[in-house]
């Protein structure tokens, strides 16, 4: 996948927001400009992560798995 295709795929992933029970697949679609901002945030985090890893951050995969677990626990 080239960079343009990846950018579009990220926006499409960010555009769909699951609501309620994920097994039901109910959700809403975000406007493209909001999905694009979310994708840019994610890419910026990945770029920062790569920099941390190159500077000796121990086991970035375990770190991001922990972040994912904490995101799942968050309540609004």
**pLDDT, tens digit (0-9, with 9 covering 90-100), for 17-63:** 765 555 555 667 888 888 899 889 988 888 887 777 766 666 777 77
Q: How many domains does the chain have?
A: 1
List CB contacts of 23: < 8 A, sequence separation 6 or more.
none
CA dihedral 58, 62, 66, 68 (to 10 degrees): 120
Query: Given pLDDT bands bounded at 50, 70 and 90, which one contains residue 65?
Result: confident
Give the three-class secondary structure for 21.
coil
Tokens of 66: 């922990």
**Domain that includes residue 18, residue range:** 3-73
**pLDDT, tens digit (0-9, with 9 covering 90-100), for 15-30:** 887 655 555 556 678 8
The tokens 């609501």 sit on which residue?
A: 19
Report if pTM > 0.75: no
């Amino acid at each position: 996948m080239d960079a343009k295709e990846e950018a579009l795929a990220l926006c499409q992933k960010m555009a769909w927001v699951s609501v309620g029970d994920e097994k039901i697949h109910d959700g809403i679609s975000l406007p493209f400009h909001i999905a694009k901002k979310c994708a840019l945030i994610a890419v910026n985090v990945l770029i920062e992560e790569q920099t941390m890893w190159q500077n000796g951050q121990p086991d970035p995969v375990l770190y991001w798995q922990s972040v994912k677990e904490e995101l799942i626990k968050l309540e609004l």
